[in-house]
Amino acid sequence: MEKSKLLQMNNMGIVVENLDNAISFFTEVGLKLEGRAIIEGEWAGKVTGLGNQSVEIAMMVTPDGHSRLEISRFIYPKTISDHRTAPVNSLGYLRIMFTVNNLDELVSRLIRLGAELVGEVVQYENSYKLCYIRGAEGLLVGLAEPLE
């Protein structure tokens, strides 16, 4: 039997309270809405271990078509914990990072729409300009601009 091997990363998931706001935020970052649906029933609960569930999801895709972000809003069962404002040194999944072509312009635009800069924009050697922002619902998002 052939040994299993990783083929690709399918998507990253984020749970939110307001799906429309999250879609708007990630659209502003540069992702495109690929689809939106309600996923429910016993089969879905078997995957998550939550039993019978109803979740509204939006699948967003990066411009190159290679990466996806699944944004979920649980209708039931209700969410039971909130890690959105955890500091960057917290355990567990924390942030998603995007490569952008004009970091300063994007950060300015996102701040005008209510995002908050975490720390400051910094330059790492001659490689990248980097920053973290808190976007829709306080979600931590990293932005990196390659310096060429």
Q: What is the pLDDT along the chain (148 residues), one digit of tens a residue?
A: 888 887 787 889 999 999 999 999 999 999 999 999 999 888 888 888 888 899 999 999 999 999 999 999 999 998 888 888 888 888 887 789 999 999 999 999 999 999 999 999 999 999 999 999 999 888 999 999 999 8
Domain boundaries, the chain: 1-80, 83-148
Q: Do domains 1-80 and 83-148 have the same CATH topology?
A: yes
Write down the CATH number for the domain with range 83-148. 3.10.180.10
Residues whose CB falls within 8 Å of the CB of residue 17, separated by 6 or more in sequence, listed in order:
73, 79, 137
Q: Which fold has domain 1-80?
A: 2,3-Dihydroxybiphenyl 1,2-Dioxygenase; domain 1 (3.10.180)
pLDDT on residue 124: 93
Q: Do β-strands 68-76 and 12-15 pair in parallel, antiparallel, or remain unpaired? A: parallel
pTM score: 0.88
